[in-house]
Amino acid sequence: MATDTSRLPVASGRVAEIREVALSLFARRGYHATSMKDIGDALGIRAPSLYNHFESKQQILVEVMRGTMEQLLRDHIDALASTDDVVEQLRRATEAHVRYHARFRDEIQVGNIEIRALEEPERSRIVLLRREYSDSWEALILRGVGRSVFRVSSPRLTAWAILEMGIGVARWFDPAGEMSETLLAYHYGDMALRLVGIAHAPAASVSAVE
């Protein structure tokens, strides 16, 4: 977990601890079923001390959700900026998307379930960031179609299909399991290319991967 959170915006030790413990409780019990007292108990501190760092439970949720989306967008922009080749852009953006969802599983689960617990105007801001992200995917696929490199019947549905298959990873990926995050990312990169009509030979025989 230390390696994971190190990729999120830098926060002082105590703030990072609170966020991590709160995230874990939100993911397991749900936001509404978790009190500031529960968070304090899990950290071995009294609830009032939490308020030195966060105004409210809602503020913790906001920071978790905003930090998560901003990191995802940064990784995505890096992937696109790293090459002009639209095929490589799609591969790298898919790999970044899948790595992200394999790594920040609790953040994704809380983000998807607790969006309804987020108060305005923060909810609209998060929804806007998500929209920005999926629009960028659609634009990427449209660029590939425009260059006659991709062939798809619906750029939007293709973008959403790639996004959704990657989001699913957060539900089942086990970092202690047989498949590494890196191999996983390669597989999804190949699947994304297939979805835009670029057929590669499979990376490995069935028996080697299963």
- Please state the closest distance from residue 136 (CB atom) to its own copies, in A: 16
Of residues 191, 203, 4, the one with CA closest to residue 101:
4
Residue with tokens 């609170």: 18
Of residues 118, 20, 139, the one with CA closest to residue 76:
139
- Please state the closest distance from residue 6 (CB atom) to its own copies, in A: 28
**Residue number, 5 or 34, with CB nearest to its own copies:** 34
**Residue number, 47 or 142, with CB nearest to its own copies:** 142
Q: Which residues contact its own copies (rule: CB under 8 A)?
A: 28, 30, 32-33, 113, 116, 142, 145, 151-158, 160-165, 167-168, 172, 184, 187-188, 190-191, 194-195, 197, 199, 201-206, 209-210
**Residue number, 63 or 190, with CB nearest to its own copies:** 190
- Please state the closest distance from residue 200 (CB atom) to its own copies, in A: 9
Please tell me whether residue 54 adopts helix, strand or coil conformation: coil
- Please state the closest distance from residue 113 (CB atom) to its own copies, in A: 5
- Please state the closest distance from residue 20 (CB atom) to its own copies, in A: 20
Torsion of CA 105, 110, 112, 116, to 10 degrees: 180
Please check whether residue 48 is in contact with residue 56, taking contact to mean a CB–CB distance below 8 angstroms.
no
**Residue number, 45 or 145, with CB nearest to its own copies:** 145
Report how far apart, in Å, the C-alpha atoms of 179 and of each of 31, 53, 119 are: 31, 38, 38
